[in-house]
Chain A
């Protein structure tokens, strides 16, 4: 017949509106770490080894900084280091390309000896 063993589901205690507490909402928007900035590592190696220029080494130094700063949680500093890595790598590439273009055009016009002498002479003061 009738189910006498029926027990009503437990009713949550109600004491006005004060009884219900909203679950604490945590603002998680700041917890998501930004993407790791590109550290320009292999590009700066290209600049160092292929373009024969020392500026590329500065790029490698900043590439190393980007990752260590990022994993320490210093995201803004990592972002800044990434920008410097990019700038120094690009400087190395641009200076390298300009140097190659100038010496090629001087060679083709037959004035290359002049450029190399100029470099060696201007360097004589700093040669230790």
Chain B
């Protein structure tokens, strides 16, 4: 049973390394480009930013609606406006960054307790409840 995991890990390490570094650089370049576009153009005014298909289909906002405007506001350090555009987005960014550190930069080996608390069973359920509460609440109020 456990042999399978060990084996697959060895394979990924062998294949990885060079390809992983290249992929990381590519992702970083694309991310910087996208952030530059989000910094210079305002998604609230420019029609080039795609609109949410869920909003177009149903007329209701989804949990991700307003995140493009929120990114724009965050890049200009306007936390109030970001919070108004998508309140879930602001706390989600540090949470996602910690998740990336734990998974890809050896964080889960160094801080297994942090991973268990922040990304374990109860946190997954908490996130689920938060997303649904935010989804319903933003369409009611």
Listed in ascending order, the chain A residues whose CB lies under 8 Å from chain B are 30, 32, 34-35, 38-39, 41-43, 45-46, 48-54, 56-57, 60-61, 63-64, 66-68, 71, 75, 99-100, 103-104, 107, 112, 116, 119-120, 123, 126-127
Contact = CB atoms under 8 A, between A and B. Distances in A.
A54 B121 CA distance: 21
Contact of B63 (A49, A119, A127): A49
B29 interface: no
Interface residues of B, number: 39
Interface of B: 1-2, 5, 47-48, 50-54, 56-59, 62-65, 67, 86, 88-89, 92, 95-96, 98-100, 103, 119-121, 123-125, 127-128, 131-132
A34 B64 contact: no
A48 B64 contact: yes
Closest A-B pairs by Cβ, 4 of them: A42-B99, A67-B121, A64-B124, A52-B64
Q: Which among B1, B64, B67, B95 has the highest number of chain A CB atoms within 10 Å?
A: B64
